[in-house]
Amino acid sequence: MRHVIALDVGGTGMKAALAGADGELLHQARRPTGRARGPEAVVEGILDFAAELRAHGERHFGEPSAAAGVAVPGIVDPERGLAVYAANLGWRDVPLRDLLAARLGGVPVALGHDVRTGGLAEGRVGAGRGADRFLFVPLGTGIAGAIGIDGRVEAGAHGFAGEIGHVVVRPGGAPCPCGQRGCLERYASAAAVSEAWAAACGDPEADAADCAKAVLSGDPNAVRVWRTAVDALADGLVTALTLLDPRTLIIGGGLAEAGETLFTPLRDAVRRRVTFQKLPEIVPAALGDTAGCLGAGLLAWDLLTSTDRTEESA
């Protein structure tokens, strides 16, 4: 059975799969990145993991993997196949595409940014299926974004497109590690809500999920913290939809796990802010933590499709 390798590399762990042509995950596996052992060990772990997946595919599906796709965090140069920079993994200018191709016997390898790769999957086979324009916004430790256009995700001229978390929504507000003040992710990320709720309730271990539960129980401090986050998020999203005019707005990440505790007030807040703009459908992400693997598999299949077309026209 023809299949591809899909790897999703995170700050602490790696998710991997063998993916069929229809996007089905035929085999899944996980392991830690081993970042405590240093950036070179992380890269070697990725290569070893990919080689093990290739061997598994040969044993169970009768042929080696036809291609590979890998999603990584940080700054990525997909054209040159470089993992340019990732603070949490400690690497700079790693030629990951070439290293993987060499370890996998010369098969084509696609390299992608983790959020954009997850957005690609959400747009094609997840919550944005059928939408010609979508924006995928995961609310996690920070806030990123993936701009979907006709089945692909726009990286921008320098690979920085979609960084909605660094749209300033509160000028002069809380300092952000990026160097600005008042960035969206300082108010509406899961990490920001966790920090605000821990301070409000006096429990340093409290997190955003605890805040959402307290909102449901009517705790006024929780309602205040939650409303602050929702208002900031709505301001950032209206800026984005004014610029991009998406048909579907997909919200994912840890904060989205609050379900309608988030989506009901968020839809209302966005609706109150739009004037001439068309209100997009605002929906929760559908693929959970498999989005990165699914997207990496799609990148690999896209490589094969373009290769097949080139051979047919030759």
Stretch 122-138: mean pLDDT, rounded? 94
- Average pLDDT, stretch 183-190? 96
* pLDDT, position 314: 45
Report whether pLDDT(4) > 50.
yes
Q: Kindly state the percentage of the chain with pLDDT values over 90.
A: 79
**Bridging pattern class, strands 13-19 and 4-9:** antiparallel
Q: Measuring CA to CA, how many Å separate 235 from each of 13, 65, 187, 211, 274?
A: 33, 45, 11, 21, 10
36 vs 104, more confident: 104
pLDDT-based confidence at residue 307 (cuts at 50, 70, 90) = low
| pLDDT tier at 135, thresholds 50, 70, 90 | very high
Residue range 19-40: mean pLDDT, rounded: 88
Question: For residues 98-128, b (16+ Cβ closer than 10 Å) or e, as one string?
Answer: ebbbebbeebbbbbbbbbbbbbbbbbbbbbb
Instruction: For residues 135 and 307, give the distance between their C-alpha atoms in angstroms, rounded to a whole number.
Output: 28
User: Out of 29-43, 199-213, 220-234, 295-309, which region has the weakest mean confidence (pLDDT)?
Assistant: 295-309
Rounded to 10 deg, the angle between the 190-201 and 220-244 helix axes is 160
- On the question of pLDDT at 35 being above 90, the answer is no
Asked whether the predicted pLDDT for residue 114 surpasses 70, the reply is yes
Kindly list the distances between the CA atom of residue 137 and the CA atoms of 12, 91, 265, in Å, as whole numbers in the listed order: 21, 25, 17
Give me the percent of the chain exceeding a pLDDT of 70.
Answer: 97
Residues 51-81: tens digit of each pLDDT: 999 999 999 999 989 999 999 988 899 889 9
Answer yes or no: are the C-beta atoms of 196 and 229 closer than 8 Å. yes
pLDDT given at position 103: 95
For residue 6, what pLDDT is reported? 96
- Across the chain, mean pLDDT equals 92
pTM for this prediction: 0.91
Predicted confidence (pLDDT) per residue in 206-251, tens digit: 999 999 999 999 999 999 999 999 999 999 999 999 999 999 999 9
Residue type, 252: G
